[in-house]
Structure 1
Amino acid sequence: MKDKRILFVSSEVVPYLPETELSSTAFNSAKNAHSKGVQTRIFMPRFGVINERRHQLHEVIRLSGMNLVVNDVDMPLIIKVASIPKERMQVYFIDNEEYFKRKAVFTDEDDQLFSDNDERAIFFAKGVIETVKKLNWAPDIIHIHGWMASLLPLYLREFYKEEPLFTDSKIVTSIYENGFEGELNTDLTEKIKFDLGKSQKLSTLQTPNYTNILKSAIENSDAVIYGSESLSEEITSFIQENETPFLEHQIENLRDSYLNFYADLLSEE
């Protein structure tokens, strides 16, 4: 895997957000690959709770400045970057004042999901892809962590399917147990239709709950990794029914297990 390129895209990454199973695994999977000579890039949303001064975020002017269309509205894309101390790994932050400036991550003070989480997920997916295009950095593996990143496989397979930069990229999605209660905005599929048209793959998202968002990511990925020790029976059955290659939850030897899994995926014709 030395000199291969892996793009890590996560809703959460330590040390920028509190330590959870997801944020720690996303960080460690990137760190472990980086330590073995893999070229890595990490992308996450620039949530308003992230202390820019403490973590030394700065805007990358040459990457910022474009507008992304979300549901027929132009939304400015701002790209910020920071380096994880001691690791020499760059983290790119997808930012937009309307979507990410608020001092919260996914829910309001009453623990209710933000009504625009659907648009934030669309913006994040398109923002990552457009920024990687500007970098002209073709990843061998794209590894997805967290539900807010989970529309990215759908967009890569449908909206960006003619983009040559990603022709040979393999998509891996890590599936975690802890998600959210309830549903995102029920207009999610209508908003995605603005980009994709009447794609059959949108049927999975008609009810935009946590399970169905994961299913959408799974059916548009080349492989999945069990990020949590236990997953719902509905999700595990869906993975088996789709005959999606998977890696069981790893507690020990995570580095070699992940790298071997990536290598096996890349060796498949």
Structure 2
Amino acid sequence: MKEKRVLYVSSEVIPYLPETEASSMSYFSPKMVNDRGGQIRIFTPRFGNINERRHQLHEVIRLSGMNLIINDLDMPLIIKVASIPKERMQVYFIDNEDYFKRKATLTDEEGNLFDDNDERAIFFAKGVIETVKKLNWAPDIIHVHGWLAGLLPLYIKNYYGNDPLFEDSKIVTSVYNQSFDGTLDTEMIDKLRFDALDDDAVTEFEEPSYVNLMKNAVRFSDGVIKASEDLDEELNAYIDSVEKPVLEYHSHEEFADAYEGFYLNDILNEKENDE
């Protein structure tokens, strides 16, 4: 992985949120690339239940201050950073008072999805991409973890499809057994159309369920990783049907060589691994 640039975009990362398959792999996979000589950037939402003082988050003024248009509303983008102790890995946090100040992640105290999770996902995707543009950091691979990050492939390949910074970037999406009941806001498709995304690109969002959201992410990715041993049956069948590289499940104890080989051989088409 020497000198390869990998952008990790995740809805959750340890140690900032509790340990799950997604938060664990959002830590272990960039650590692997970092340890093997690659360059990494990690982006995640700054949920209100992340303790800023304990984790020493601080705002990056030069990256903040932009407004993103979400469904015809100007939403200020705030960028914060922190370093994972002992790992020489920096994490960028996408923040906004309206979307991420509440002291929870994706659901309220009764387990109900927040009504604006669709807009939060749109804001997160656009916020990551605009910040990477400000950094002028062209990734070789963009690796997406978690359904809140699932709009990244759609926006990279469509809304930002002509941006030279991403013209050679390959997208990998890790799919987890991380579903939710019901759907996101049924007007989500109109909010995506507001960004001039073609109807053909957003057909899955006529019913914005977890399965359909991840189908869209898979459709606009260059490769897929089955990141949970057991996946939704319909989604698993869809992944098996796509004509693109798919990596079967590997636990975080044994994933490293498999992920590196997948990145280099299947996604970047470099047939010899770095030593």
Indicate whether the TM-score tops 0.5: yes
Letter in 2 for 1:60: V
Q: SS where residue 64 of structure 1 aligns?
A: coil
Which residue is 1:202 aligned to?
202
Deviation readout 1:82-110 (Å, 9 max, x if unpaired): 00000000100000000000001001122
Q: SS where residue 75 of structure 1 aligns?
A: strand
Letter in 2 for 1:244: K
Which residue is 1:242 aligned to?
242
Q: Tell me if 1:170 matches 2:191.
A: no
Q: Distance in 2 between matches of 1:11 and 1:182?
A: 19
Deviation readout 1:128-169 (Å, 9 max, x if unpaired): 000000000000000000000000100001100000000000
The unaligned stretches of length 5 or more in structure 1 are: none
Of the structure 1 ranges 21-30 and 125-134, higher mean CA displacement relative to structure 2 is found in 21-30
State the Cα distance separating 1:233 from its structure 2 match. Answer: 2.0
Q: Distance in 1 between matches of 2:190 and 2:121?
A: 14
State the Cα distance separating 1:245 from its structure 2 match. Answer: 1.2
Percent identity of paired positions between Structure 1 and Structure 2: 62
Q: Distance in 2 between matches of 1:109 and 1:196?
A: 35
Which residue is 1:222 aligned to?
222
Of the structure 1 ranges 180-189 and 133-142, higher mean CA displacement relative to structure 2 is found in 180-189
State the Cα distance separating 1:268 from its structure 2 match. Answer: 6.6
Distance verdict in 2 for CA 1:196–1:242, change over 3 Å: farther
Task: Report if aligned partners of 2:159, 2:197 keep a CA contact under 8 Å in 1.
Answer: no
Distance verdict in 2 for CA 1:96–1:200, change over 3 Å: same
Task: Report if aligned partners of 1:139, 1:166 keep a CA contact under 8 Å in 2.
Answer: yes
Q: SS where residue 159 of structure 2 aligns?
A: coil
Q: SS where residue 90 of structure 2 aligns?
A: strand
Letter in 1 for 2:112: Q
Letter in 1 for 2:21: E
Q: Tell me if 1:81 matches 2:81.
A: yes
Which residue is 2:153 aligned to?
153
Q: Tell me if 1:266 matches 2:271.
A: no
Q: CA RMSD in A?
A: 1.2
Which residue is 1:256 aligned to?
257
Deviation readout 1:198-244 (Å, 9 max, x if unpaired): 33021111100100010000000000001100112211221122223
Q: SS where residue 158 of structure 1 aligns?
A: helix
Q: Distance in 2 between matches of 1:196 and 1:211?
A: 23
1:82-161, aligned counterparts within 5 Å? 82-161=82-161
Task: Report if aligned partners of 2:94, 2:124 keep a CA contact under 8 Å in 1.
Answer: yes
Query: TM-score normalised to the size of structure 2?
Result: 0.96
The unaligned stretches of length 5 or more in structure 2 are: none
Letter in 1 for 2:73: V
